Structure 1
């Protein structure tokens, strides 16, 4: 009996609530479910404020003190129980056969010493906040090389730092500059170079193309793809607004709206045929200049004031009274009225 490969990351029911003064709670992430497999890039997309970066912070244990988490986020290898085979005995469906480290319950000591940089490499959304302002980029890269690879000796460290810079398209003649002497794009490339040094099994890239021109966007995502492809056990979770970058690199796409993952599908189907099935996902694509260039109408809701039913209903031309109830979050599309899949129409079924 064959079993699927263990996941690098397996997220089940991940929720994040912020407790505000007066007892008010803000639901930033609600019941997220997804896996990231070895050799895979999963792109997490959605409008600003939908909870993408909060989800990333939860995985790294970087949430503020007023945050409360639920669910699990197992860092692999994680093997889920296979489907039953005729006459075979397997563990109950959904149970972990080889559970990994739960990032949501791991202590700060474990996260700092064994996870961040070593098992999860982070390309941060705000690189200036992660770069040490009083040290040159070279010294920070050499320190990362020493800590994450065990390299020693001035010559070896210097060469490794320069190789790391080259991978991220960071110019070698800027290595001796301090972070405040860099443009936003160069700071982003420096942060990318630091994240790649440890060759972590999971790379978490939070808006890795911010501040880059189109050529550098393509170079950056191509390097991230090479990072994954160079070792079959690595994976990438990329959070991005840049759908062109997602199309270039992703194997699968997860769409987040108002703290919920509303669609999870293959990238080829999402960007090609039959296209996304959630009306919000389809609206994101149609807003691109090379599509209809039509923006999604209205504005996303505040996470602290979400409706009881579908949060997208006020902006959706497919909404009905049924949408006053919350659509189930199980399955590939969380929608009462998804766009029909041509392959599942009665005509296609009869054919």
Structure 2
């Protein structure tokens, strides 16, 4: 709720995620990706409301109480690489002490072994051992990100939520972090990666979900999304075409405010294949929520539609 109004930050999101699979959730800032992750972990503001069902490892998350979430879900069944790691690290404790405490709590590592285990945990996320005795405020953004990733990986949770896990990293570390997350999935766990980095998504994802204005508008196999035939939704195609290694052509306009969505398709005001039919909201059918999915209906110019 905002200003006395109800704002639907995420609506009708539906997907499954199997053990051993990576789903990349992509889209522009403000489209609802991180809100979805927070809802799964019970980390939304107190005035937020959720409806529906989200089941992980036999536990219904949206109806779980705080005690269940704190003691059974967070860290044990769902690991989180947070979007703002500095805010999730304890400011008055070193990275080493936080890793050691998490190891004891989640894995039962004996005190005599915990120091070495903390070094190994740091190495998984490419966090340098000579920085382990630093406090969070002494870390760069990239190092804080790697510390948070190391903490998230410790419990080997059945589901890992990685919210922008490569923020602040150079390309080499992006690839290394992505590969470690992929290894987490390859060992039989599920990975939901929320990212703006389509190159990282292409590197490790099995499927891609594209979110726009609080809704999933495309759900596709990664090979088809990044290769042939490519995305079917015009917005998803625009995200790819905006990449420097592709057309480097930005999508015109700005996303709508979630409290002021247009009737029908929320992307229609920015879409060059929109028609009067887009005045009604399209359902997600065959992986695309579009009245004119690319590769199915031949895209025509907006001027032709108006003629």
State the TM bucket, normalised to the shorter chain.
over 0.9
| 2:301 matched residue in structure 1 | none
Matched, 1:21 2:3: yes
C-alpha RMSD of matched pairs (Å): 1.0
Matched, 1:36 2:28: no
Q: Deviations over 1:71-119 (max 9, x none)?
A: 111113xxxxxxxxxxxxxxxxxxxxxxx21110000000000110011
| 1:270 matched residue in structure 2 | 225
State whether residues 9 and 258 of structure 2, in contact with CA within 8 Å, keep that contact through their aligned partners in structure 1. Answer: yes
| 1:325 matched residue in structure 2 | 280
Q: Distance in 1 between matches of 2:94 and 2:42?
A: 27
Equivalent in 207, 210, 214 of residue 167 of structure 2: 210
Superposition deviation, residue 148 in structure 1: 0.4
1:71-82 alignment to 2 at 5 Å?
71-76=52-57
Q: Deviations over 1:277-298 (max 9, x none)?
A: 0000000000001101000111
Q: Which moved more, 1:43-52 or 1:67-76?
A: 67-76
Q: The residue matched to 1:224 in structure 2 has which SS?
A: helix
| 2:41 matched residue in structure 1 | 60
Matched, 1:69 2:50: yes
State whether residues 119 and 202 of structure 1, in contact with CA within 8 Å, keep that contact through their aligned partners in structure 2. Answer: yes
Superposition deviation, residue 21 in structure 1: 3.0
Gapped regions of structure 2 (runs ≥ 5): 298-307
Q: Distance in 2 between matches of 1:331 and 1:126?
A: 35
1:77-116 alignment to 2 at 5 Å?
100-116=58-74
Instruction: Flag the 1:48–1:73 CA change in 2: closer, same or farther, 3 A.
Output: same
| 2:303 matched residue in structure 1 | none
Q: Distance in 2 between matches of 1:291 and 1:330?
A: 27
Following TM superposition, the consecutive aligned residue runs of length 4 or more in structure 1 with deviations greater than 3 angstroms are: none
Superposition deviation, residue 331 in structure 1: 3.8
Superposition deviation, residue 340 in structure 1: 1.6
- Higher RCO structure (Cα 8 Å, ≥6 apart): 2
State whether residues 20 and 66 of structure 1, in contact with CA within 8 Å, keep that contact through their aligned partners in structure 2. Answer: no
State whether residues 127 and 187 of structure 1, in contact with CA within 8 Å, keep that contact through their aligned partners in structure 2. Answer: yes
Q: The residue matched to 1:72 in structure 2 has which SS?
A: coil
Q: Distance in 2 between matches of 1:133 and 1:109?
A: 24
Q: Distance in 1 between matches of 2:51 and 2:262?
A: 21
State whether residues 29 and 260 of structure 1, in contact with CA within 8 Å, keep that contact through their aligned partners in structure 2. Answer: yes
State whether residues 165 and 195 of structure 2, in contact with CA within 8 Å, keep that contact through their aligned partners in structure 1. Answer: yes
Matched, 1:172 2:129: yes
Matched, 1:118 2:76: yes
Q: Distance in 1 between matches of 2:293 and 2:133?
A: 53
Instruction: Flag the 1:331–1:67 CA change in 2: closer, same or farther, 3 A.
Output: farther
Matched, 1:47 2:28: yes
Q: Distance in 2 between matches of 1:159 and 1:197?
A: 13
| 1:307 matched residue in structure 2 | 262
> Normalised by the size of structure 1, how large is the TM-score?
0.83
Superposition deviation, residue 330 in structure 1: 4.5
Q: The residue matched to 1:322 in structure 2 has which SS?
A: helix
Q: Deviations over 1:179-215 (max 9, x none)?
A: 0000000000000000001111100000000000000
Equivalent in 128, 136, 155 of residue 94 of structure 2: 136
